[in-house]
Amino acid sequence: MQIRKASRKMTVSLLLAALAGGLLAGCGGNKDNAASSTQGASSPNSGKQVKLRVATSFAGSDPWVSAWTDAVQSFQAANPNIAIVDESTPVNQEALRTKVKADAATGNLADVLFYFNGSETKILQETNEIVSWEDELAKDPEWASTFNAAILDKVKYEDKQYSLPYIGFYEGLFWNKELFDKHQLEAPTTFEAFMKAVDTLAANDIIPIATSLTTPYIQEALVLSQVGPEGQKLAYDPSWAPALNLIKELSDRNAFPRDALTLDDDKAQALFSGGKAAMMFNGSWTAVGLSSNPAIQITPFPLVPGGKGENMIVSGFGSGWYMKKNDDQAQYDAALSFVKYMTSPDVAGKFAAVGGTYAVKTTDTGTTAPLLTAGNEMVAQAKDFVMPIDSFVSRESYTDFLKGLGYLAYGKKTAEEVLAQAKKLSDRNQG
């Protein structure tokens, strides 16, 4: 009887162990399979199947989605042994940041990433899992020569080239010339003209500035114009207060949509592109959709009274290509050839036709819209550039800062209170 009892206990224990083992094997199975499927391959074209995980921001409503999809398809056609697992995730709601950070924390980074630079590079570098590109650039001088050396230098982190810059962005004041002409207004190139336009348009039932007060763009422009590039680096410094007070003044003058506190950026853009609003301060990624309307013009944000940031713009290479270290040579080579393909002048040219400025040579497709050309000229003529505020402050402090601006616009908090609260959160987490 004792033996039967023991054997039954054993049976139950074994079954439970098998079940638990099965579950755990299920969780880890993908990695094992991926590893075994790539072992033995020596090059991207060796015929052995390689599964390449790529995580980029080219997803959702991103304007480069079609250029990206075409590029991935043509790469796969040329390299039938490499299967691309596209893990691209939209940047909205911090979905991409959350995915990549969770991947980094769990040792599950994709083989190739197109991801943010700046404070985000630090997070990837700390995993000790990403390649520093110096060796590969040295091995292939022809490929290296396609990159703008000065821009490569700008995105270095602790003197290391973890990120290969690709698409650059700029922020500018888009304005509808047709609406300005209709109300006999001057171009908003000076602050006086800008404020006169705000008052006149508001009085004529046209929204002066299409913006959501939950997005960062207009305040980025005001802060840079007020304190200049040096002052902008002093995160949440009290010297920013006059710039923030202008948000309150603009709000009081009915410069923003009536529901600016709950409006999202897509709907704000729709107000501008639909002719309900006359101005919009936003990024180069919106220029693509606006470029079909010849009345849309672009200019840097005008200098505010007493400001230090004349003809200076928020611009830069906020994202770049990262590659994971890999002991499996075939996997490594496949990832490298993918990045080289994406940064080749032909592929970059197709991305450039959609918009943005580029850190690599691009083949001109001859389809660049006049607004995009005007945007590039604005960048070329700018006196200085800065990266956006959120590239060098902690996420928590920045989201709190943005929320605080809503309170400020409706007189519930002062600029000093908003800045002090953000500074407190920033000091607590120097992320």
Partner 1 sequence: MNFKDKRYIVLFLSPTVILLFAFLLYPLIQSVYYSFTDWYNFSNKKTFIGLDNYRQLVQDPVVGIALRNTLILIVGAIVLQAGGGLALALLTASVKRGFKFFRTVYFFPIVISGTAIGLMFSIIYNYDYGLLNAIMRALGLPEQVWLTEHSSIYLVLIPILWQYVGFYFVIFLTGISKIPEDIYESAQLDGITGIQKAFKITIPLLRDVIASCLTLATAGALKVFDVVYIVTKGGPMNSSELLSTYMYDKAFNGQNAGYASTIVIAMMLLGILITVLLNKAVKKDTISY
Residues of the shown chain interacting with partner 1 in the complex, contacts defined by CB under 8 A: 5, 8, 11-12, 15-16, 19-20, 23, 93-95, 97-98, 101-102, 104-105, 123, 126, 207, 214, 257-259, 261-263, 267, 270-271, 276, 394-396, 399-400, 403, 406-407, 410, 412, 429, 431
The residue among 92 and 189 lying less far from partner 1, judged by its C-beta, is 92
User: What's the DSSP call for residue 51?
Assistant: E
Q: How far is the CB of 409 from partner 1 (least distance, A)?
A: 9
Q: How many residues does the chain have?
A: 431
Are 169 and 91 in contact by the 8 Å Cβ rule? The answer is: no
Q: How far is the CB of 79 from partner 1 (least distance, A)?
A: 33
Reading across the β-sheet that carries 112-116, which strands appear in turn? 82-86, 50-55, 112-116, 319-323, 164-165
Pairing of strands 207-209, 277-283: parallel
The residue among 104 and 201 lying less far from partner 1, judged by its C-beta, is 104
The residue among 180 and 398 lying less far from partner 1, judged by its C-beta, is 398
Q: How far is the CB of 109 from partner 1 (least distance, A)?
A: 13
The residue among 289 and 345 lying less far from partner 1, judged by its C-beta, is 289
Q: How far is the CB of 404 from partner 1 (least distance, A)?
A: 9
- Tokens representing 97 are 């940041």
- Tokens representing 255 are 């410069």
Number of helical (H) and strand (E) elements in the chain, helices listed first: 18, 12
Q: How far is the CB of 115 from partner 1 (least distance, A)?
A: 13
- Tokens representing 414 are 């002062």
Q: What type of residue sits at position 166?
A: Y
Q: How far is the CB of 273 from partner 1 (least distance, A)?
A: 12
The residue among 300 and 388 lying less far from partner 1, judged by its C-beta, is 388
Q: CA dist 177 to 172, 303, 376, Å? A: 15, 20, 19
The residue among 19 and 85 lying less far from partner 1, judged by its C-beta, is 19
* Core vs surface per residue 186-201: b (16+ CB within 10 A) or e: ebbbebeebbebbebb
| Calpha distance 194→196 (Å, rounded) | 5
| Calpha distance 112→109 (Å, rounded) | 8
The residue among 167 and 213 lying less far from partner 1, judged by its C-beta, is 213
State CA 73 to chain mean position distance: 23
- Tokens representing 54 are 């790529």
Q: How far is the CB of 159 from partner 1 (least distance, A)?
A: 22
